[in-house]
Amino acid sequence: QVQLVESGGGLVQPGGSLRLSCAASGSIFTIYVMGWYRQAPGKQREMVAFITTGGSTNYADSVKGRFTISRDNAKNTVYLQMNSLKPEDTAVYYCNAQIRVGSSPIHGYWGQGTQVTVSS
């Protein structure tokens, strides 16, 4: 009923920047909290940032001051601007959205993941 499609991952040198995008499409729905998670090989998936409908944000300590999450409600899209990238930022990044489809209960949806590699 709802799909999240990510884009923007890739290879970048330390200190560089990338912008990830994730757009929701499908049935008529209402999006609430949207966020970004990441998972490196051998590590647990961790929250990177999330943003509420009203624009309140929260960031992992490791990315504060470097990453910025934003959303365009008209486009049903969430973004993650990543600046001053470090090798330890290398991971698969996943977007997540809490969505109500019609009058159904709110449910979490995940994107397919996009690889971000920071290396020189």
Contact 24, 32 (CB under 8 A): no
Check residue 76 and give its pLDDT: 94
**pLDDT tens over the chain, length 120 residues:** 899 999 999 999 999 999 999 999 988 789 999 999 999 999 999 999 999 999 999 999 999 999 999 999 999 999 999 999 999 999 999 999 999 999 999 999 999 999 999 999
Check residue 27 and give its pLDDT: 83
Distance between CA atoms of residues 51 and 65, nearest Å: 16
